[in-house]
Amino acid sequence: RWVYASNPESGCAYWTFRAEGRIRSNVAVENDILVFGDLLGNLYGINANSGALLWQRRVDASSTSRINGNVTLHNGVVYAGVSGLQELSGMRKDIACCSFRGSVVAMNARSGERLWKTSMVDEPLKFLGRTKDGVNRYGPSGVPVWSGIAVDEKRRALYVSTGNQYTEPRVKESDAIVALDIDSGKKKWIAELAPEQMNRTDIYHLGCETWV
């Protein structure tokens, strides 16, 4: 949970900061602002000189949301992909699955103001029925963003890769490269990459075997 600013020659710490959750992302720095994310779905803005907290924002309402891919800091804006652990909680036979949707969020790096957020699943969440144990099922869900985000200044675009769906019906954003407008977050194009051997469909979570 710790972030350190250290002297590159001696290794002595200038300052340390303890986050609310464990940190698996990179630490990005631009001018005097430092940003990173944690496994509780929080983004942080830190004064790079003093280590003082400027802002902390939870970027998704889901209790399983997290930031484990690298954040991108560019021209005063931090871009982060949101993933979740609902794929794992789906193993439990007493928990409804699934409602989480991956997303990309853009925040003002100095103030923490959210500029836009784009869900990787546009279709409304629907009730799909019940499992053999009587637990509700919902979908489509999933399409987490585990990766970092690339910036294309020339085309004013961001590029992000996505993961699998958790529940049906199939959406084209799953297992894909998605291009987003850098200013609005609007989807510019989607390149579907799920393998032919899987019939271009990757709908799975770790509890699937218990549902049949």
Secondary structure (3-state) at 43: strand
Nearest to 126 by CA among 112, 140, 144: 140
Above 80 in pLDDT, residue 210? no
SS3 call for 196: helix
Q: Are 140 and 117 in contact (CB under 8 A)?
A: no
pLDDT at residue 212 in the model: 46
Instruction: List beta partners, residue 45.
Output: 35, 55
CA–CA–CA angle 197, 199, 207 (5° rounding) = 90
Q: What is the mean pLDDT of the chain?
A: 93
Average pLDDT for residues 65-93, to the nearest whole number?
91
Does 16 score more than 60 pLDDT? yes
Q: What is the distance between the alpha carbons of residues 194 and 26, in angstroms, rounded to a whole number?
A: 27
What is the 8-class DSSP label of residue 100?
-
User: What's the mean pLDDT in 179-191?
Assistant: 98
Six token digits for residue 169: 């019906």
Dihedral angle computed from the Cα positions of residues 110, 115, 121 and 127, in that order, rounded to the nearest 10 degrees = 100
- How high is the pLDDT of residue 128? 95
Model confidence pTM above 0.85: yes
- What residue type is 104 in one-letter code? V
Higher pLDDT, 26 or 135: 26
Integer Cα distance of 133 and 129 in angstroms: 11
Of 38 and 137, which is predicted with more confidence?
38
